[in-house]
Structure 1
Amino acid sequence: MSDVREILKKRPLLFDGGMGTYYKAKPGQECEQANLLDPEGVLAVHGAYLEAGADAIKTNTFGLPRMAAAGNPLWEALTDEGWRLAAQAAAKTGAAVFADLGPAPDTESLPAAQIYTALAERFAALGAKNFLFETLSSDAGVAEAAKQIKEAVPDAFVLVSFAVLPDGYTREGRHCTQLVRSMTACGAVDAVGLNCVSAPGAMRTLVQQLGRTELPLSVMPNAGYPVVTRTRVQYQGRPEYFARELVGLAAEGVRILGGCCGTTPAHIAALRTALDALPEQLPVAAAAPVPTAAKPEVETDDAFLRKLNAGQKVIAIELDSPKDADLTGYLEGARRLQAAGADLLTIADCPIARARMDSSLVACRVHRELGLNVLPHMTCRDRNLNATKALLLGLYAEGVREVLAITGDPIPTAERDEVKNVYQFNSRKLAQYIVSLAGEGREMPSPLTVFGALNLNARNFDVELRRAQEKLENGMSGFLTQPVLSAQAVENLKKTREALGSRAKILAGIMPVVSQRNAIFMENEVNGIHVDAEIIERFAGLDRVQGEELGLEVSVKAAQAAAPYADGFYLMTPFNRIALMERLIARLKEEGVAD
């Protein structure tokens, strides 16, 4: 079996193409199951790529991480046979064999690192020395697994490859430069690269944007973009074009080349011929990045952030957008709250998953007309990655510098037959994606500040606090909390401040209770809110005026209790009562709780 490192010293290493798409074009079973059900068919595919000139082939085991995570007992037998078949095929030419591991799900109960490690140990016991983690959307668990591989097989060669869209981001919102940097820094990876999703031309542009890399770079694009005809998916990219684009990358320093979906032995043969025609001495690193034009200076923060970062207590106030298309009353309400002393207007994104005017569009209008800083809520529901990115770019262009990233409420059960949920990522991944849009050569000159939600009323607050720490690690700068309406909420707020210190800006949630009925409803039907029984009892028999007065008293006391542990307050407007919130802001200022 060829030594990969020795090949790389002399010339680029050529991999095979897309096993899955090429095998499926023939009669037979699903790809990985074919290791047991159609071994001759798998051997034939390996043989075709080797005959085309591949220096290395991948085991037919791409889908096994998901299979193992799902508890399918066949994963071990499929691993064994996948290795045996690839080794048998490669023995005829001396080609290198890579144990192929596709993406593994990453959950708290079963981390991706555990799945990868179990498979890698199985391969190592079979004699594997080369390992490929491919088509990944994140680096979850990879560094840990790579280190375990190096401990078991010190001379192992580990290649990690990410599936990246033409704009440089994975489907989980990670930019390729971040991922390449992460794998380089881990110290247990020998080469890093990109594969799948993008066609050769787009991937060549991505490589130029990456610039020089410390580790050897791998590039394995699709043959082109898929064309769906009835039940078949076809790739129409021609082998000559594929070879021309990739040999150009080799001339610029890419050391590992191959193909992914839609690439056939014909594509690999064309690339083999092109590579063999190159001069012997080639650069060993990728080309320098394409220079970009200087961008004009833009405001990177705003009055709200400057006040918050100066240590002054800020006031953010939430006002739900209209249910109809008329913004007249809403803008007047926002103007009144601004005059009362609100530093920031927050706008929910279709709370309880019921349609209202879009929070981001409303935020842009308020900011444009009033000059008031705004914090539109952005849920993971109902937008895929493309729609999210488009919206964020529009917000930035309109001068919006803060967003609140939350998972979002699911569509109510009664409406699911007509309205479907779309969840591509959670709030942590959304935050990570938002902050990754800024940087050299990126779409935004400066990052947006991302806030998240913190439920002080969570039954298992230790879990909630751990998630808050993960949110900070993924790019969030602070949190807006659920309402403080109990002694336990204050205690959890104190615990949060002690755990997170100055790393997080915390706006304590304050929501005036206006009646006993209102209090009982929130306690029983609103997720994330807990109202002390004592507070509920105090509202018994009160009329509207009395209820509002007591609500103000309770809210001010809650703010006073929360103040030592908070950087400001997040006021929630009940039933669109603007006048009540004007009075609350005035009381907070009179009591010296807010600056």
Structure 2
Amino acid sequence: MELREYLKHKTLLFDGAMGTYFRSVHPEYPGKCELANCNAPAKVAEVHKNYLESGARAIKTNTFAANTHALECKFDEVRTVIRQGWKIATKVAEPYRAFVFADIGPITDPNGEYEQIVDEFLALGAKNFLFETWSDDDDLYALAAYIKARCPDAFLIASFAVSPDGFTRQGLSARAVLERVTNCPVIDAAGFNCVSGPNHLLAQARANADLFGKERPAADPAMLSVMPNAGYPTIVDGRTFFENRAGYFASRMVEIVAAGAKIIGGCCGTTPEHIRLTAEALNEEEIKPEPAAAQVEVKPREVKNRLADKFAAKKRVIAVELDPPADDNLEKFMAGAKALKEAGVDAITIADCPIARARADSSLLAAKLRRELDIDPIPHMTCRDRNINATKALLLGLSAEEVRNVLVVTGDPIPSAERDEVKGVFSFNSAVLAGYIRELGEQGVTASFRVFGALNVNAANFEVELRKAKRKVEQGVAGFLTQPVFTSRAFENLIHAHEELDADILGGVIPIVSHRNALYMNNEVAGIEISQGVINRYEGLDREAAEDLAVDLSVQLAQRMEPYTAGWYFITPFQRVSLITRILRELNKSTETDPS
């Protein structure tokens, strides 16, 4: 029977997890599971057969990680793994008249490899494809169109790995991704697998069931696919184990079908026993569809954001960066922040462990500033040091503390001398983090944040920097703080950004306090470029004369940037808050005496 015809009458039951089950029955196997297609084909065939004997009517080829990145090999070897995997699966499935799906997992840096993999499967006669455990949909639509152009009858399932709270590891909400995917006419089914157990994926199935079954132009309605993990693993003696509660799994799968799933199966930790009991439950019980859950419209919470209001009113915004202390003595930091507020500063920005060295936490300091000084802080949030769970926890805390503005940056790498002891965690980049923050606000999980990003106007290839900035705007970044602007090239890039970006820009100013300071910043600080003419002006000056020059240059630079910015971003050198307040006084004087 053709697959689409089968699905009109029955629920399609997939197999369970090839990887974890293969390991459990063949712990002696030394390599990656996919390589067993070539050097232990009988063991792979045995796994497929066990699932089919248990009642599965669709199996996945043992090719989830068949790519050059995961297998650390040339594509010629990947090609062999794919061909052998297809040969094994189709041979085992034939007597059971089961459907075989080409299994394709995510690739860290695909660079055209998805198309190569697809071409191999199509050449072998594959018509059914499963893209599983994906964390975003960026490459999916072009790839699906590529397949359908070559095989119009192909059946495509897009399956995403989501955490129990409904977000992928890239920070995308399940709802937002499924809304896009179910509206794509070249994708036949979509849903979830991996990361979460059956109870949490049941909740996701119910929450998103309304997206499925709707008419689509030039395509049948999309179907819901759900393949949960067996549950949540435990670690025993350094090994990962899933407790075998197959009966519970089966009962939840029946509920998932009642919630609207037409395609089900298992992921990590599921065994033939899970599939057997699920098949029996599906055959024994009369499954009545659940009434569609009423969709509650979630609206972003209306919150007061003084900084956002000032931008909206086209008033100039002044933000000043204060470095967090390297110890727990906050007296100087708080005194500096108070002096800046009294000088008319709108916001204090706080770096997040700059140059990857531990300092007082930027978000905790932001909450303290908000509560004790009633000034608007902009804590920096790096993508280094936190996974998505830690990031969400921090955002919840900031929202509760009424901190409404954040600056997202990827973060400096860990210094090489410390990498044996300190490990960087980069679960996403700044554009993805910005999108995640926006999604939390749109779903009412947190209050809406105004998200800022960094803009390097000193970049050697500014067009690349500008493309990154536009991507960040698409993800929800509303404003940019630039690197310090000292050179004519940096000014040209600032003007270009002003013309191209639909976002507010705060022009970066850092006072240079000595000749040595100028040399250091120009030669050792990434993203800062100082002209030789400016460096030469500091040569031979004492501290007082150097500060006078710093004030004059900073005021001139700020005034020159004014037509192309929504305000200024001053970086405090060596905690010299008095120098920043002096610059602000001079700027105020020039504004008051300006005849225009």
- TMscore range, shorter length: over 0.9
1:358: which partner in 2? 361
1:95: which partner in 2? 98
1:213: which partner in 2? 211
User: 1:305: Cα distance to partner?
Assistant: 0.9
Q: Aligned ranges for residues 231-270 of structure 1 at < 5 Å?
A: 231-270=238-277
SS of residue in 1 equivalent to 2:393: helix
CA distance in 2, matches of 1:55, 1:212: 26
1:491: which partner in 2? 492
Q: Which of residues 32, 50, 53 in structure 1 aligns to 2:52?
A: 50
Question: Are 1:74 and 2:77 counterparts?
Answer: yes
SS of residue in 1 equivalent to 2:349: strand
Task: Pick closer, same or farther for the CA change 1:152–1:563 going to 2, 3 Å.
Answer: same
Deviation digits for residues 284-334 of structure 1, max 9, x if unmatched? x99426869x99x96524111101122121111111112221222222211
1:174: which partner in 2? 172
1:157: which partner in 2? 155
Question: Are 1:276 and 2:277 counterparts?
Answer: no
Q: Aligned ranges for residues 88-237 of structure 1 at < 5 Å?
A: 88-106=91-109, 110-111=110-111, 114-214=112-212, 215-237=222-244
Equivalent position amino acid for 1:308 in 2: F
CA distance in 1, matches of 2:325, 2:552: 28
CA distance in 2, matches of 1:388, 1:70: 34
Deviation digits for residues 328-380 of structure 1, max 9, x if unmatched? 22222111111111111101111112221111101100011111011000111
User: 1:134: Cα distance to partner?
Assistant: 0.1
CA distance in 2, matches of 1:20, 1:163: 16
2:341: which partner in 1? 338
2:218: which partner in 1? none
User: 1:219: Cα distance to partner?
Assistant: 0.7
Identity %: 48
Question: Are 1:376 and 2:379 counterparts?
Answer: yes
SS of residue in 2 equivalent to 1:403: strand
| TM-score (norm. length: structure 2) | 0.93
The answer to whether the 8 A contact 2:205-2:260 is kept is: no
- Range with greater deviation from structure 2 (555-564 or 239-248): 555-564
1:552: which partner in 2? 551
The answer to whether the 8 A contact 1:481-1:508 is kept is: yes
SS of residue in 2 equivalent to 1:583: helix
CA RMSD of aligned residues (A): 2.1
Question: Are 1:326 and 2:329 counterparts?
Answer: yes
CA distance in 1, matches of 2:172, 2:569: 30
CA distance in 2, matches of 1:324, 1:233: 39
CA distance in 1, matches of 2:319, 2:238: 52
SS of residue in 1 equivalent to 2:25: coil
1:520: which partner in 2? 519
User: 1:72: Cα distance to partner?
Assistant: 4.4
SS of residue in 2 equivalent to 1:192: strand
The answer to whether the 8 A contact 1:69-1:115 is kept is: no
- Range with greater deviation from structure 2 (65-74 or 485-494): 65-74
CA distance in 1, matches of 2:330, 2:468: 36
The answer to whether the 8 A contact 1:208-1:286 is kept is: no
User: 1:592: Cα distance to partner?
Assistant: 2.8
Deviation digits for residues 556-579 of structure 1, max 9, x if unmatched? 121122122211110111111111
CA distance in 2, matches of 1:286, 1:132: 28
User: 1:264: Cα distance to partner?
Assistant: 0.9
The answer to whether the 8 A contact 2:209-2:260 is kept is: no
CA distance in 1, matches of 2:126, 2:294: 36
SS of residue in 2 equivalent to 1:128: coil
Deviation digits for residues 405-425 of structure 1, max 9, x if unmatched? 111112222233333322222
The answer to whether the 8 A contact 1:192-1:216 is kept is: yes
The answer to whether the 8 A contact 1:225-1:237 is kept is: no
CA distance in 2, matches of 1:237, 1:376: 45
1:582: which partner in 2? 581
- Range with greater deviation from structure 2 (22-31 or 151-160): 22-31
Equivalent position amino acid for 2:95 in 1: K
User: 1:3: Cα distance to partner?
Assistant: 2.1
Equivalent position amino acid for 1:256 in 2: I
User: 1:176: Cα distance to partner?
Assistant: 0.9
The answer to whether the 8 A contact 1:201-1:245 is kept is: yes
Task: Pick closer, same or farther for the CA change 1:410–1:193 going to 2, 3 Å.
Answer: same
The answer to whether the 8 A contact 1:244-1:274 is kept is: yes
CA distance in 2, matches of 1:102, 1:465: 31
CA distance in 2, matches of 1:373, 1:226: 43
Task: Pick closer, same or farther for the CA change 1:289–1:164 going to 2, 3 Å.
Answer: farther
User: 1:460: Cα distance to partner?
Assistant: 1.6
The answer to whether the 8 A contact 2:301-2:448 is kept is: no
Deviation digits for residues 211-258 of structure 1, max 9, x if unmatched? 412321111001111122224322113111011001011122211110
Equivalent position amino acid for 2:504 in 1: K
| TM-score (norm. length: structure 1) | 0.94
- Range with greater deviation from structure 2 (466-475 or 342-351): 466-475
CA distance in 2, matches of 1:21, 1:83: 20
Query: 4+ residue runs of structure 1 moved beyond 6 angstroms?
Result: none
Equivalent position amino acid for 1:122 in 2: E
Equivalent position amino acid for 1:470 in 2: R
1:61: which partner in 2? 63
SS of residue in 1 equivalent to 2:130: strand
Task: Pick closer, same or farther for the CA change 1:154–1:69 going to 2, 3 Å.
Answer: farther
CA distance in 2, matches of 1:88, 1:484: 66
The answer to whether the 8 A contact 1:403-1:448 is kept is: yes
2:216: which partner in 1? none
CA distance in 1, matches of 2:41, 2:333: 67
CA distance in 1, matches of 2:439, 2:419: 33
CA distance in 1, matches of 2:414, 2:258: 52
Question: Are 1:389 and 2:392 counterparts?
Answer: yes
